[in-house]
Amino acid sequence: QDSAFSRLAGGIGGRGPGETKLETDRRRVRGRINRLEKEIEAQRQRRQERRKRRTRNGLPIVSIVGYTNAGKSTLLNTLTASDVRAEQRMFATLDPTSRRLRLPREQEVIINDTVGFIRDLPPDLLSAFRATLEEINESRLLIHLVDASNPRFVQQIESVERILRQLQLAEIPTVLALNKADLVDANTMHAVFRQVTQEGTRDAIVISATDARSIEPLLEKASAVLARNLTSRLPHEQERQAEQLSRIA
């Protein structure tokens, strides 16, 4: 009771221990927020520098996106024989991880593992994700990884597609990969595949991120999509270069 009166006294005119502790806590919280904001900005600048270097190297960027726990880090590990942390928990990957990868047709790319999406992402969190997902903006291709063993796979696909639209990234060519085939029997996987592709708006490939052999069709598909994308971009690039030359002349 004395402690409660002491805190009230602090609010009325004195400086009780309750008010002092509250002010201290607020100051610590503000300090932590400032440190986190500086860290996010530093990470953003580092990512921007990495993107500039990749642009100079001319390597296309491929980003793995998907609902949380879809197996994105596991897929990156298998593709690149690396050891990115893969955990069954939300937001295990916060800062995008990048690796070089050689696709079929001797095509070299940069491949990114990104933060896992969640359903009904709050606006404040979506705003914070924009910094984390900046890497996707420069992507020539998205691999949308889906946990086919999850009963809510349809809702998860729709959640990811909705967030991509909110981030204005839905126009980037996308390959849908139905993951965890090793955890689903053949009949169930066939039903999942049929349900995902029945509207004709999605083209899916069945894989297991832990099995390198099952990923080969995904790599072939990614290589083909990138090749088509490059071909379609060439006339625009040539037109832009011609316009620049005409200005110089």
pLDDT tens per residue, range 166-225: 888 899 999 999 999 999 999 999 999 999 998 888 889 999 999 999 999 999 999 999
Same domain, yes or no: 168 and 198? yes
Question: Burial of 76 by CB count in 10 Å (0-12 exposed, 13-18 middle, 19+ buried)?
Answer: buried
> How does pLDDT run across 134-144, given as a tens digit for each residue?
768 888 999 99
Long-range contacts of 74-77 (CB under 8 A, 24+ apart): 74/209, 74/210, 75/113, 75/143, 75/145, 75/177, 75/179, 75/207, 75/209, 75/215, 76/111, 76/113
Look at 20 and 216; give whichever has higher pLDDT: 216
- pLDDT tens for each residue of 40-87: 677 667 766 766 665 556 788 899 999 988 998 899 889 887 655 554
- The CATH code of the domain that includes 232 is 3.40.50.300
Would the pTM count as exceeding 0.75?
Answer: no
Residue 157 CA to residue 134 CA, distance in Å, equals: 21
Shared-domain flag, residues 125 and 174: yes
Domain range for 121: 59-248
The CA–CA distances, whole Å, from 146 to 26, 66, 95 equal 41, 6, 20
One domain, residues 28 and 45: yes
Mean pLDDT of all residues in the chain? 77
Q: Is the pLDDT of residue 128 over 70?
A: no
- Type of residue at 134: E
Q: Is the pLDDT confidence value at 242 over 90?
A: no
The answer to whether residues 29 and 107 belong to one domain is no
